């Protein structure tokens, strides 16, 4: 029996190509794992009306973690049109399988490392090493929205929030409301993950990204929890920055930041910003972890315009693979993979188009393997 069981979820388009690269690398590292294929993505929406069939999540329950490529998703109207004829008119609704995975496995922690590799021509600056911890299950993406907004609902709100007065004399159809839900439990577990990471990897500081002077209740609760958790880690510097200000600071002085922590929406935006400082979609990768399970993935999508061409950069996928190896406790393999990627970048002989090269996806994987030694 293998040491690990890994759910293998290539998905659509270039997801398949970058996962092929990951497999070459894992086989060469000699990871003792059984890889179990899982159906996910657009094809299963079209043919079965479900992009994440139950057999896939059932299979995942029996594995240690999952490696995921990318999927295609389309707006509701188009999604319905592409359903197989026998599924038409059945009132099926498309839901993003990634969002569903995060919810079903309670993967509350979205960790996005952003590391400037020495010699990469895509770095804004060298010396950038910023890890973003984004809360994955609540905040502005809790999914609690209203529109049309009934008078009754607004009256309830007015009773608790006098500032609602301005919005009372409007037709229901002319007002939509989204909620931002912060819970003490949700805030605490993501903030604690950030501090634990800082402690484990010897990082100097943790910065909370918020806007508490305007979002007084929700932002206030985040700051309150942050201060409490921070007091348990006196050796780590901690402070909060406003989300708008940090968007400028991250471009001006990214080397000042180590670990950032934020609610769902702020984390989504700030992690894309941080990703572009060190190479963008060819590098950006993430781990979604909960208490019992984890899914590792590149940040990019299925890139239909490159699908089948083996042109795209596998580094994002390989860096997600490295995260998975660290999660499994295979530190030596993770370090070897890191070294292979680093040397491939500094040598600059075998690189994909986005880095100014002409190499193919799998050539880069083979070069990384060559550079293990
Ligand atoms: P995308 O990330 O698939 O690609 C956008 C562009 O970024 C590509 O055309 C290419 O120029 C560049 N790019 C992406 N990955 C790259 C790589 N590894 N190396 C070099 N260049 C790379 O985003 P797009 O085109 O907006 O979405 C395509 C499909 O993917 C849509 O159906 C979308 O819904 C889905 N999507 C899925 C995600 C996921 O599975 N996690 C995330 C984002 C989009
Ligand atoms: Mg995003």
The model's pLDDT over 238-269, given as tens digits with 9 standing for 90+, comes to: 999 999 999 999 999 999 999 999 999 999 99
Ordered by start, the domain boundaries in the chain are 1-110+285-373, 124-141+181-277, 145-178
| CB of 300 closer than 6 angstroms to any ligand 1 atom | yes
Distance 166 CA to ligand 2 centre (A): 33
What pLDDT does residue 167 have?
A: 96
- Asked if residue 18 lies in contact with residue 316, where contact means CB atoms within 8 angstroms, the answer is yes
Residue 164 has pLDDT above 90, yes or no: yes
Share of residues in the chain with pLDDT > 90 (%): 95
Binned at pLDDT 50, 70 and 90, residue 115 comes out as very high
Structure tokens at 116: 């400037």
What whole-number distance in Å separates Cα of residue 21 and Cα of residue 203? 31
Which residue's structure tokens are 């609610």? 263
| CB of 360 closer than 6 angstroms to any ligand 1 atom | no
Mutate to test the pocket of ligand 1, among 43, 78, 303 (most ligand atoms within 8 A of CB): 303
Residue 99 has pLDDT above 90, yes or no: no
Average pLDDT in the chain? 96
Atom of ligand 1 nearest to the CA of 312: 19
User: What pTM did the predictor assign?
Assistant: 0.94
> What backbone phi and psi angles, to 5 degrees, belong to 252?
-75, -50
| CB of 75 closer than 6 angstroms to any ligand 1 atom | no
What whole-number distance in Å separates Cα of residue 370 and Cα of residue 58? 37
Tell me if the bond preceding 190 is cis, omega within 30° of 0: no
Binned at pLDDT 50, 70 and 90, residue 110 comes out as very high
Q: Which ligand is nearest to the CA of 52?
A: 1
**pLDDT tens, position by position, 167-204:** 999 999 999 999 999 999 999 999 999 999 999 999 99
Q: Which ligand is nearest to the CA of 275?
A: 2
Mutate to test the pocket of ligand 1, among 12, 300, 359 (most ligand atoms within 8 A of CB): 300
Mutate to test the pocket of ligand 1, among 12, 297, 302 (most ligand atoms within 8 A of CB): 302
What pLDDT does residue 267 have?
A: 98
- Mean pLDDT across the stretch 300-311? 97
Helix axis angle, 14-29 relative to 331-347, nearest 10°? 120
What whole-number distance in Å separates Cα of residue 176 and Cα of residue 358? 48
What pLDDT does residue 29 have?
A: 98
**pLDDT tens, position by position, 337-372:** 999 999 999 999 999 999 999 999 999 999 999 999
Distance 300 CA to ligand 2 centre (A): 9
List helix spans (H) across 171-212. 184-200
- Asked if residue 69 lies in contact with residue 18, where contact means CB atoms within 8 angstroms, the answer is yes
Binned at pLDDT 50, 70 and 90, residue 103 comes out as confident
- Mean pLDDT across the stretch 157-166? 96
Q: In CATH terms, are 1-110+285-373 and 124-141+181-277 the same topology?
A: no
- Asked if residue 84 lies in contact with residue 47, where contact means CB atoms within 8 angstroms, the answer is yes
| CB of 316 closer than 6 angstroms to any ligand 1 atom | yes
Residue 373 has pLDDT above 90, yes or no: no
User: Measuring from atom 40 of ligand 1, which residue has the nearest CA?
Assistant: 70
Atom of ligand 1 nearest to the CA of 306: 9
Q: Which ligand is nearest to the CA of 136?
A: 2
Best CA proximity match to 321, nearest among 18, 1, 12, 14: 18
Best CA proximity match to 126, nearest among 260, 278, 246, 315: 278
Best CA proximity match to 22, nearest among 13, 12, 9: 9
What pLDDT does residue 71 have?
A: 97
Q: Which ligand is nearest to the CA of 18?
A: 1
| CATH T-level fold of 124-141+181-277 | Rossmann fold (3.40.50)
What whole-number distance in Å separates Cα of residue 352 and Cα of residue 204? 34
Residue 143 has pLDDT above 90, yes or no: no
Distance 282 CA to ligand 1 centre (A): 10
Among the CATH numbers 3.40.50.1000, 3.40.50.300, 3.40.718.10, 3.40.630.10, which is that of 1-110+285-373?
3.40.718.10
Distance 295 CA to ligand 1 centre (A): 18
Which residue's structure tokens are 């984890």? 294
Atom of ligand 1 nearest to the CA of 315: 18
Distance 268 CA to ligand 2 centre (A): 5
Count Cβ atoms below 10 Å from residue 65 Cβ, excluding itself.
21
User: Measuring from atom 9 of ligand 1, which residue has the nearest CA?
Assistant: 303
């Amino acid at each position: 029996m293998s040491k690990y069981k890994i759910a293998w979820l290539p998905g659509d388009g270039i997801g398949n190509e970058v996962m092929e690269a990951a497999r070459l690398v894992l086989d060469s590292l000699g990871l003792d794992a059984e890889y179990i294929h899982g159906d996910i993505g657009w094809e299963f929406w079209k043919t079965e009306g479900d992009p994440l069939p139950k057999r896939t999540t059932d299979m995942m329950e029996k594995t240690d973690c999952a490696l995921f490529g990318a999927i295609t998703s389309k707006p509701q109207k188009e999604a319905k049109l592409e359903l197989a004829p026998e599924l038409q008119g059945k009132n099926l609704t498309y839901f993003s399988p990634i969002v569903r995975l995060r919810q079903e496995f309670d993967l509350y922690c979205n960790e996005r490392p952003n590391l400037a590799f020495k010699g990469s021509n895509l770095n804004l600056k060298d010396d950038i090493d910023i890890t973003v911890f984004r809360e994955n299950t609540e905040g502005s993406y809790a999914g609690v929205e209203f529109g049309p907004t009934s008078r009754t609902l607004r009256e309830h709100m007015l009773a608790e929030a006098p500032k609602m007065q301005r919005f009372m004399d409007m037709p229901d159809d002319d007002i939509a409301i989204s909620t931002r839900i912060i819970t003490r439990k949700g805030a605490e577990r993501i903030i604690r993950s950030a501090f634990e990471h800082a402690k484990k990897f010897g990082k100097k500081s943790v910065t909370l990204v918020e806007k508490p002077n305007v979002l007084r209740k929700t932002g206030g609760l985040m700051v309150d929890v942050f201060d409490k958790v921070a007091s348990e880690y006196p050796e780590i510097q901690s402070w909060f920055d406003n989300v708008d200000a940090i968007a400028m600071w991250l471009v001006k002085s990214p080397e000042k930041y180590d670990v950032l922590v934020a609610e769902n929406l702020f984390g989504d935006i700030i992690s894309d910003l941080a990703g572009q400082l060190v190479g963008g979609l060819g590098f950006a990768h993430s781990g979604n972890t909960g208490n019992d399970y984890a899914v590792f993935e590149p940040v990019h999508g299925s890139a239909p315009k490159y699908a089948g061409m083996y042109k795209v950069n596998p580094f994002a996928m390989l860096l997600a693979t490295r995260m998975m190896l660290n999660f499994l406790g295979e530190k030596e393999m993770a370090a070897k993979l890191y070294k292979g990627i680093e040397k491939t970048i500094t040598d600059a002989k075998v690189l994909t188009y986005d880095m100014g090269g002409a190499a193919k996806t799998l050539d880069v994987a083979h070069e990384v393997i060559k550079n293990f030694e």
